[in-house]
């Protein structure tokens, strides 16, 4: 089975500060990992993905994520948060032999002015 855990329901950060949204996964074999963002009353938007190669992946809107195989983690990061980054963030995984993604429960990011 494949699974994703997002241990924080909500992350609060002040504008201008760095942010981290945590994600850990469980699959057998090498994972494909994704981050999506959902703004209110909108569908999910793709942010970035890790398939293979460099462990640090850069994505849209200044976000990046670091793949750590030993810790089975794929944390989302941004050096300087914006109020407009406030949204619901989903981590997703696909393991070998699976055709579909498994999404985490989501983490609400709130960036205060």
Binding residues for another protein, per CB under 8 A?
Answer: 32, 34, 36, 41-46, 49, 51, 90, 94, 99-101, 103-106
Is there a contact between 4 and 25 (Cβ–Cβ < 8 Å)?
yes
Nearest to 24 by CA among 92, 97, 85: 92
Residue placing its CB nearer to another protein in the complex, 65 or 81: 65
Least distance to another protein from the beta carbon of 57, Å? Answer: 12
- Give 106's DSSP letter: -
Least distance to another protein from the beta carbon of 85, Å? Answer: 19
**CA-to-CA distance for 68 and 54, rounded, in angstroms?**
11
Least distance to another protein from the beta carbon of 100, Å? Answer: 5
Least distance to another protein from the beta carbon of 19, Å? Answer: 21
- In the beta sheet, which residues pair with residue 47? none
**Chain centroid offset of residue 1 CA:** 20
Residue placing its CB nearer to another protein in the complex, 31 or 81: 31
């Amino acid at each position: 089975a494949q699974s994703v855990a997002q241990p924080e329901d909500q992350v609060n950060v002040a504008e201008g500060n760095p942010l981290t949204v945590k994600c850990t996964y469980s699959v057998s074999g090498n994972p494909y990992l994704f981050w999506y963002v959902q703004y209110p009353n909108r569908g999910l938007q793709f942010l970035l993905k890790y398939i293979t190669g460099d462990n640090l992946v850069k994505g849209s809107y200044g976000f990046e994520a670091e793949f750590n195989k030993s810790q089975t983690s794929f944390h989302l990061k941004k050096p300087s948060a914006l109020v407009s980054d406030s949204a619901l963030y989903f981590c997703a995984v696909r393991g070998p032999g699976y055709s579909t993604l498994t999404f985490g429960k989501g983490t609400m990011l709130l960036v205060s002015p």
